[in-house]
Chains A and B, each alone.
Chain A
Amino acid sequence: MTGPQIAFLIISALTVASALLVVTGRNLVRSALWLVVTLFMVAAVFTTLEANFMAVVQIVVYIGAIAILILFAVMLTRKVMNETQPQTNSNWWMGAIVSGVIFVGILLMILSVDMPMRPADDVSGQIVGLGNAFVSPDAFILPFEVASVLLIAALIGGIAIAMPREEES
């Protein structure tokens, strides 16, 4: 066991524990805060992969935008479900079986494939490469622009759906 391996095991144990608390928590606000912890730990996993840009984007986009949006939605719909009601539906055991079977399948698939890949030693210049790849016509400018259009469409759609109607206001 080397140092990075121990660090990875600690990070992944914290990730899995907080993900379990997100799924099983009775209090939705606490679930949302555990979701923030999980996403932060995933950012830590990205730093173990030396993908620093992805770690920062994870924190800014997921924690800064999505988790805060979810917290606001939880607080705006607060009084619907209190903690005494059951938080899972009557078919939760079927969901557990399905996800368990899928996990065993993925695990067998991962273990059956021999992966001889080794991480590259030098990952410097990745941010420059990423910036160039996003605007270069030979690389990924089309997906990048499509993602921009998707975001603006989601923005307009979110406003249009959530806006109160005239007669209600």
Chain B
Amino acid sequence: MIPLEWYLILSAVIFCIGLYGVLARRNAIAIMMCLELMMTSITINLVAFWRYGNVIDLSGQVFAVIVFAVAAAEATVGLALAISIYRNRDTIVANDLNLLKW
């Protein structure tokens, strides 16, 4: 039997790798990829708690499916923004996009 803690630690490791990527990468699309890593690590937590809790109550899986939908929506809008910015300003380096920065 696999202890529940192993799943939680795996999820925490992937989450923190994704967090580092979001904070450190310069390319906006790379930041988006790291965001997907963070979101998928959250679903591991949700499904693990469903499996180790009450399996008749499917809230964990339902929550994970909603997270999938939110991740798909986020990827759609985010990548559309990245392509639109690239078309207008010829860059997707996050440091150069300082139009709203005083």
Contact = CB atoms under 8 A, between A and B. Distances in A.
Interface of A: 2, 4-5, 8, 12, 15-16, 19-20, 22-23, 28, 31-32, 35, 38-39, 42, 45-46, 48-51, 53-54, 57-58, 61-62, 65-67, 69-70, 72-74, 76-77, 80-81, 85-89, 91-92, 94-96, 98-100, 102-103, 106-107, 110-111, 115, 117-120, 122-123, 126, 129-130, 133-134, 139-140, 143-144, 147, 150-151, 153-155, 157-159, 161-162, 164, 168
Given A88-B25, A161-B81, A147 B47 contact: no
Interface string B1-37: 1111111111011111111111111110110111011
Nearest to A79: B90
A77 B48 CA distance: 37
A150 B70 contact: yes
Interface residues of B, number: 77
Contact of A22 (B8, B37, B77, B90): B37
| Interface residue SS majority, chain B | helix
Contact of A77 (B10, B47, B83, B94): B83
B5 A115 contact: yes
Listed from nearest, the 7 A-B pairs whose CB atoms lie closest are A95-B23, A154-B73, A92-B24, A23-B21, A103-B16, A162-B80, A158-B80
Given A70-B29, A80-B86, A102-B16, A150 B47 contact: no
Contact of A130 (B7, B30, B62): B62
B61 A23 contact: no
Interface of B: 1-10, 12-27, 29-30, 32-34, 36-37, 40-41, 43-44, 47-48, 50-56, 58-59, 61-62, 64-66, 68-77, 79-84, 86-87, 90-95
A98 B27 CA distance: 20
B51 A120 contact: yes
Contacts of A67: 36
8 contacts: A19-B18, A51-B51, A58-B40, A62-B71, A70-B29, A95-B19, A115-B3, A161-B80
